[in-house]
Structure 1
Amino acid sequence: MSSVKNLEALFPTEAQIPAEYNLTEPIEQREYLVNGEMRQWAGKTQDVWSPIYVQTANGLEQKRIGSYPITNPEDAMEILDAAVKAFDHGRGEWPSMSVAHRIECVEKFTQQMITKRDEVVKLLMWEIGKSLGDSQKEFDRTVQYIYDTIGALKDIDRNSSRFMIEEGIIGQVRRSPLGIVLCMGPFNYPLNETFTTLIPALIMGNIVMFKPPKHGTLLHYPLLEAFRTSFPAGVINTIYGRGNSVVPQLMESGRIDALTLIGSSKVADKLKKMHPKVNRLRAILGLDAKNAAIVTESADLELAVKECMLGSLSFNGQRCTALKMMWVHESLVDAFNKRMSEEIGKLKLGMMWEKGVNITPLPEPNKPAYLKELIEDAIAHGAKVINEGGGESFKSIVYPALVYPVTREMKVWHEEQFGPLVPVVAFSDIQEPINYLIESSHGQQVSIFSKDVHQISELMDVAVHQVSRVNINSQCQRGPDGFPFTGRKDSAEGTLSVTAALRSFSIRTVVATKETTENKAIINQIVENQESTFLSTRFIW
């Protein structure tokens, strides 16, 4: 597949779209969730265009799949007022509810969510161009993440359901919610990565204001009724519209207690600076990444190629954990490029519902042009596109490009491509990729490919001070969800994983008293009569 004409032919006619996966009618969302009610919207709306084009008698036409509300700053502030009221300085129904009852609410939501699987999966496919298998996997992994989160919270609560006595002081340490959480997820995993912050924030007793990503908004619509019926009024509220319009006023109000964003470090920096009391703001951020693969002279070439292919081109390379720079020892680089080119040539390009599809349309309208700009800049500075047809594009489809040799003068050396572009750098001295890790403003992960135990150890001991995860002979990735997920430098703030996220969205709080007969009697009475939802020895099964 090396011609634009062939790429154009990938787009289907309406009749070629399988009925079970087609969206026959646009979804015109005219509701949003605020203060426990589905409020009707009669204002401006945003059209949603799929990255899929359809062959018609008039030529290719981009498929419009629906629309959603564009709320304004006044609406956003009204939603914030509802959230603040629901929290009520921690005295609201949700933050003062027992952990066991909050878990019941989340379980109720999850059971309803599961009934919407087919709708959400279909919208994942049409909104962001994710393959059927990957869309199903994202939904199922999200459900599993919720159940794992419930299990982790039970463990935390069990460990907290006892009293400590030290130096004549009786105390119980439990976790309290932070307050109002503004949650903004990414387009590439609009369900999973959004819920890995939204669910732990909710279950710890926080009030959530949720703004869906620009690409991947409609897929949350089928879940709004489940949110409404599973949680008390005002506990979760949705904000729509343009982020640069509705978010600044929220931050400037000073009433946002926690910001969770998976996206750009530049955006995160701007938002944090808008808050008048930044020291009060808890930030849980998943940001830019430029993860490197280091393929040493002793590496298993076939293993390195397999993992680098998966790491760089899974979901079109649109993952923060994707491998975005390949450092290959000069003794292997020619063989590596040859094998990578061969494997790229085997990839199947097509529509999301096609069996075995690897490369699908890109949801960001400007991404093909940006990737072309990166490739042209690299060529202008001496690089070549190694694989046949690499970098060719038509509409939303871009054929993966293997670019070599990449040098520091090129934009792709510094910028996160977030697409099907694979840059390769040759090195002779292991200090070269080490210097790259040290000098980089990113610090999420690295992959080391080697059979030499001494060399792996040397690289690992340097890398652990530059990134948050070192992968040996395997691609970079987020999972398993029990592992901590974070980053150094500009790549993250705070830690996400099943247990770490619960801690990130809460604070350790102590109730303490002197060990006197009178105080022990008071504590016993509170616990035995279940006077408090916080101070408790109840055991959650």
Structure 2
Amino acid sequence: MHRHSPSEPLTDLPPTGLLIDGVRRPSSTGKTFPVENPATNEILVEVADGDATDARAAIEAAGAAQADWAATSPRYRSEILRRAYELVIERKESLARLMTAEMGKPLAEARGEVDYGAEFLRWFSEEAVRISGDMTTTPDGVNRVLVSRVPVGPVVIVTPWNFPLAMGTRKIGPAIAAGCTMVFKPAEQTPLTSLALASILEEAGLPKGVLNVVTTSSPSEVVTPWMSSGIARKVSFTGSTAVGRILLEQSAAHVMRTSLELGGNAAFVVCRDADLDLAVQGAMDAKMRNMGEACTAANRILVDRRIADAFAGKLAERMAAMTVGNGMEPGIEVGPLIDEAGREKVSRLVDDAVGRGARVVTGGAAASGPGYFYPPTVLAEVSPDSELWSTEIFGPVAAITPFDSEEQAVELANATSAGLVGYVYSQDIDRALTISEAIDTGMVGVNSGLVSNPAAPFGGVKESGLGREGSTVGIDEFLEYKYYTVPRRSPAPLAD
């Protein structure tokens, strides 16, 4: 079912200028760029279009603020994050509406992202006061070894459009907790949520210059000067593997620390003994979250051939019943894709798979009318030669491929350069864990279609990236170990 309707005007827009050294200001050229509602094609607002001049001002402000910010107490930083968490929760509805307006996800999902994103602020408010060190003695007893952990320095943060609040908080949260200043470029499709987050952090007491935000329609014009500045000491990026490679090359010039959360190509393995209803629900969770526009989305659904038709039928029934439309409306379950390029990509991948023998069980054709909508689609008997097997679909398309043995399932699951996440469904826990251990990914959902949690280490292997976000290790990405050697002196003899 598909419904169209215009959006209600947003009344709680954040400041739309750049944030540099605590000042909201226009771009150096005075240029702006539009933010579009992908459900209606309406222009929501124009925001400042930063350039290289603005980028240099931002990184210089971050560099100037670093020493004083690093010297603040862990409790001071912790309380800023805690206040920000409370403000985000307090403004859940306005943030959710902003998110839905600029990227399309249904309000129910947007509210869920506010909760999820806020939790990174609370989590790292607690981690800020737990940055520990060590003191030992060398084996020969001559020296003391003191070890502390110190901020890595100014950080370049670049986030994608699909989770505009959570991608910001899970990078900004640990950077604040560790004592790092930041320059932040949000995605050009969804800058408003990021600007609203920056305003909340200011209100929570974050000092000027600690977080500097440059919105731009030309990412390389802003990020490249940051990477080459010699001031930035780390980059934290979530996005495509292609862009990640560029940033990794640029980071080499100044030997910068890197955290890269890149593309995924998740396999969702359903064994013959799986609870079919549970597996279908898991596939819905792993495929349809955010309209399939997630790096954790189930890209290739591998099902034991003996249950493949039954699984495809049940999944198609669920997906065909979903209501598609403007996410601002009540009851909408599937919003638009982010833009026309995203929809054209999904259409191309589906057409290619069908041309190689896939069978359309439901969906399969782009919707007409305003907005970048694509219907929930199930493809059965998808060939591994299909382009979508090596390309993230980033849309509401479930591609099912049958397998004949567990060994073949593992081989198919690992037939990709990506290694972010996988999913395994079986009622035999030993079988589930054996397959999970054989799948070459950084994360596995065992009888679960959701893996993201602020308390868990999020990240992948192979070309899916470097480093981990969240958990107790997430703050380590923003800290360096510093070692001091202190000679041990023999005590002076006591006087008689």
TM-score w.r.t. the length of structure 2 is 0.92
Partner Cα distance (1:331, 1:379) in 2: 22
Residues 34 and 82 in structure 1, CA contact (< 8 A), matched pair in contact too: yes
Report the secondary structure of 1:284's partner residue.
strand
Q: Which runs of 5+ in 1 are unaligned?
A: 2-6, 54-61, 520-541
The count of corresponding residues between Structure 1 and Structure 2 is 485
Q: Which position in structure 1 is the counterpart of 2:421?
A: 445
CA contact (8 A) 2:360 2:379 kept: yes
Cα distance 1:312–1:28, how it changes in 2: closer, same or farther (>3 A)? closer
Q: 63, 84, 102: which one pairs with 1:84?
A: 63
How many angstroms does 1:24 deviate by? 5.0
Q: What are the within-5 Å matches in structure 2 for residues 379-418 of structure 1?
A: 379-387=354-362, 389-394=363-368, 395-418=371-394
Which residue does 1:455 correspond to in 2?
A: 431
Shift of residue 52, structure 1, vs aligned partner = 2.1
442, 456, 459: which one aligns with 1:468: 442
> What's the CA shift for 1:102?
2.2
Distance 1:210 1:170 in 2: 40
* Structure 1 contact 180–208 (Cα < 8 Å) conserved: yes
> Could you say what the CA RMSD is over the residues aligned between the two structures, in angstroms?
2.2
Q: Quick check: 2:63–2:232 contact (8 Å CA) kept in 1?
A: no
In the alignment, which residue of structure 1 is the partner of 2:4?
11
Corresponding residue number in structure 1 for 2:46: 67
SS of the residue 1:425 aligns to: strand
Counterpart of 1:34 (choices 3, 11, 20) is 20
**Distance change in 2, residues 1:260/1:518 (3 Å):** farther
The yes-or-no answer on 1:343 pairing with 2:336 is: no
Please state whether the residue corresponding to 1:359 is helix, strand or coil.
coil
Tell me, in whole angstroms, the C-alpha distance in 2 between the residues paired with 1:237 and 1:164: 39
**CA distance 1:308–1:77, shift in 2 (3 Å):** same
| 2:17 is the counterpart of 1:44 | no
Instruction: Report if the CA contact (8 A) 2:198-2:211 is conserved.
Output: no
Query: Residues 40 and 112 from structure 1, CA distance in 2 versus in 1: closer, same or farther, beyond 3 angstroms?
Result: farther
The one-letter code matched in structure 2 to 1:164 is T
Verify the 8 A CA contact 1:288 1:490 in the aligned structure 2.
yes
Q: 1:261 touches 1:285 (CA, 8 Å); kept in 2?
A: yes
Greater mean alpha carbon deviation, residues 102-111 or residues 468-477: 102-111
Amino acid at match of 1:211: K
Residues 299 and 389 in structure 2, CA contact (< 8 A), matched pair in contact too: no
Residue in structure 1 matched with residue 229 of structure 2 by the alignment: 253
Aligned to 1:56: none
Alignment pair present for 1:320 and 2:295: yes
List per-residue Cα deviations over 1:39-97 (Å, max 9, x = no partner): 244611001110122xxxxxxxx22110111111122112112222222xxxx210122
1:383-425 deviation line (CA, Å, top 9, x unaligned): 12112x3333234111011112111221011110011111110
Alignment of 1:465-504 (within 5 A): 466-479=440-453, 481-504=454-477
- SS of 2:36's equivalent in the other structure is strand
Residues in 2 aligned to 1:155 and 1:244: alpha-carbon distance in whole angstroms: 36
* Cα distance in structure 2, aligned partners of 1:24 and 1:96: 40
Residue 488 of structure 1 and its aligned partner are, at CA, apart by: 0.7
- 2: CA distance, partners of 1:237 / 1:206: 12
Q: Is the 8 A contact 1:33 1:228 kept in 2?
A: no
The whole-number CA distance in structure 1 between the counterparts of 2:220 and 2:268 is: 35
Please name the residue that 2:114 is paired with. Answer: 139
Contact 2:241 2:262 in 1 (8 A): yes
Q: What is the CA–CA distance in structure 1 between the aligned matches of 2:24 and 2:490, rounded to whole Å? A: 53
Point out the more displaced range, 141-150 or 324-333.
Answer: 141-150
Preserved contact between residue 443 and residue 451 of structure 2 (Cα < 8 Å): no
Contact 1:94 1:102 in 2 (8 A): no
In structure 1, give the amino acid aligned to 2:60. D
Could you tell me the percent identity over the aligned residues?
A: 24
Matches within 5 A, 1:50-449: 50-53=37-40, 62-87=41-66, 92-157=67-132, 160=133, 163-167=135-139, 168=141, 169-228=143-202, 230-241=205-216, 242-275=218-251, 277=253, 280-387=255-362, 389-394=363-368, 395-449=371-425
Separation in 2, partners of 1:82, 1:133: 38
Amino acid at match of 1:45: T
More deviation, 96-105/112-121: 112-121
Q: CA deviation at 1:436?
A: 2.1
- Post-superposition offset of 1:471: 2.1
Matched residue type, 2:341? N
Take 1:201 and 1:28, find their aligned partners in 2: how far apart are those partners? 23
Shift in Å, 1:475: 1.3
1:503, distance to aligned residue in structure 2 (A): 0.6
Given that 1:321 and 1:445 are in contact with CA atoms closer than 8 Å, whether structure 2 keeps it comes out as yes
Gapped regions of structure 2 (runs ≥ 5): none
